[in-house]
A and B are shown apart, each in its own frame.
Chain A
Amino acid sequence: SQQGEEDPQALSIQEGENATMNCSYKTSINNLQWYRQNSGRGLVHLILIRSNEREKHSGRLRVTLDTSKKSSSLLITASRAADTASYFCATDANDYKLSFGAGTTVTVRA
């Protein structure tokens, strides 16, 4: 299976701190995507990084991809209470048939 696996499962940080979560996967990919899910809500796309890219930024988000290690990281800088959510990595090896990891639950304390 090429499913992404996130680490840690849960993360609790103070507002203003950075949050880092990691994702590992097993097989070759076209791209890797990160999604956010607020409790009981839908999935919101955050950022996509292609297999030939190593780093990408979007606002307070920074994503890295190491295809040799089959791993990715998502960094959220200067976290806010509104960042409290579950974060999922999803790998795309074929035609947007995404394989999601189990997610990292991030709690940002005010």
Chain B
Amino acid sequence: EPEVTQTPSHQVTQMGQEVILRCVPISNHLYFYWYRQILGQKVEFLVSFYNNEISEKSEIFDDQFSVERPDGSNFTLKIRSTKLEDSAMYFCASIPQGRTGELFFGEGSRLTVL
């Protein structure tokens, strides 16, 4: 069964460093999302992406965040200068063109900022 894959599964970085989290959505999906979950807290929407541009972003998604679809398969989330509070699980999700229902989530990338 096709699935959303995310790399790395866990990344440890120093505060102030840049991090890129990668996602390979399901091949025929057209809408892409990033969500994050700080340990013990709710899953929060970060950004949605369609047709090579951001559709919507939350207040969390400030100037230190960016997303890109550099080629036909990868979808990346970049955090330019990480802060301690960026430590979280970051989930990529995608849905097909019909958008009839579920989001398909990846297993997540755990980011630890020291």
Contacts and interface: CB of A to CB of B under 8 A. Distances in A.
Interface of A: 3, 31, 33, 35, 41-45, 48, 88, 90, 94-103
A99 B45 contact: yes
Contacts of B95: 96
B25 interface: no
A48 B101 contact: yes
A97 B48 contact: yes
A43 B91 contact: yes
A41 B108 contact: yes
What are the 3 closest A-B residue pairs judged by CB atoms, nearest first?
A45-B102, A100-B43, A42-B107
B99 interface: yes
Contacts of A102: 41-42
A48 B102 contact: yes
A21 to B, nearest CB: 15
A97 B45 contact: yes
Is the contact region of chain A dominated by helix, strand, or loop, or is it mixed? Answer: strand
B81 interface: no
Contacts of A90: 43
Interface of B: 31, 33, 35, 41-45, 48, 55-56, 58, 91, 93, 95, 99, 101-108
B45 A45 contact: no
Given A102-B41, A102-B42, A96 B103 contact: yes
Given A41-B107, A45-B104, A95-B55, A88 B33 contact: no
B58 to A, nearest CB: 8
Nearest to A101: B42
A95 B48 contact: yes
Contacts of B106: 42
A103 B107 CA distance: 18
B106 to A, nearest CB: 6
Contacts of B99: 96
B101 to A, nearest CB: 5
8 contacts: A33-B101, A42-B105, A44-B105, A45-B101, A45-B103, A96-B48, A96-B103, A97-B58
